[in-house]
Amino acid sequence: MRTTVTFLLTGFFGLFSSIQTAHAEAVRPVDFINIFEKIAGKHKGVRKNHAKGICAEGSFLPNPAAIDYFDAALFTLKEKPVVFRFSLPGGNPLTSDNSRAPRGLAAQITLSSNVKHNIAALSVPVFAAKDPETFLGLLNASIPGDDDTTKIEAFRKKHPDTQAQAEWLKNNLPPWGYNTSEYFGIHTFFVEHKDGSMIKIRWRLKPRDGLKAIDESELGLNGSNYLEHRLIERLKKSSIDFDWIISLGEENDSEDDPTKQWPVRPTINVGTFKVKSSGGNNCESINFDPNVLSQGFLTSSDPILRMRSPTYAISFGKRINNN
């Protein structure tokens, strides 16, 4: 049951603010903080979701194709420092790596001393629910109890949008390591084109190490912290590189439902992330809110994306106050 709950928590950090639309006003950011603690227990001084993780450092270098196509401060011919965090979902910082749970990757790119750009991604291409209300209901149905499976199955039947991520996880084995997974931004964003128009995008990070999943027979046999170990060992050889691939959306592509994948669309390789070293705690003081964007980028109306800021803020406040 803990594994199922971990899947549901994947990639979720927060709920939206009072400026959201009326249909979601009953959902409060603190509701999600509370339910995370009900599921995983209270762990002081750590993130309320994706509590287990490892820090890393590196850089981002844009490609000329991005500089020519977009008018965005992030895409300039200059290598920019990046702080990364690889992670596992759930609120327990001691959770084992031996599960089919997705992997997470967050990054903060520094453009200047006071300008940052955050990204957050998962090793699954869709989210667990289409909106905060549905996600809260799914989590409530997932609180450990005697009839866990029955409650979850009944909820999923009433809310078919909750089935896409579960099916993907069922049909795809976890990656062999943090370096052998694609990471998906899941949400829709807009980026300014050179002509001044705003281009609808989604994105993913493609590993130059190639895609490699673990063998099903390995599950449970690699030790509880093998992901961190494999990352550290791999970085002894060279940097771990990811190409940042942006998909250019069309008019009918979903802007506000992260459970719906887009069809195959034209793409631009906008640059390379290089993970150069790992360890330390430099990422632990960072709030990786993906709504923190630099000039030229805008968020969409996706309620799951917009809800992240206030709940990230609550989680961050609890963490720095050791609550």
For the annotated catalytic residues, the residue numbers are 50
Dist. CA 203–CA 121, nearest whole Å: 9
- Segment holding 135, helix H or strand E: helix 132-141
| Residues 6 or more apart in contact with residue 312 via CB below 8 angstroms | 13, 14, 287, 288, 289
Q: How far, CA to CA in Å, does 155 sit from each of 17, 37, 68, 218, 299?
A: 26, 21, 47, 32, 30
Dist. CA 132–CA 222, nearest whole Å: 35
Closest Cα to residue 15, out of 290, 316, 323, 312?
312
Kindly state the tokens that stand for 295: 């000039």
Kindly state the tokens that stand for 5: 């709950």
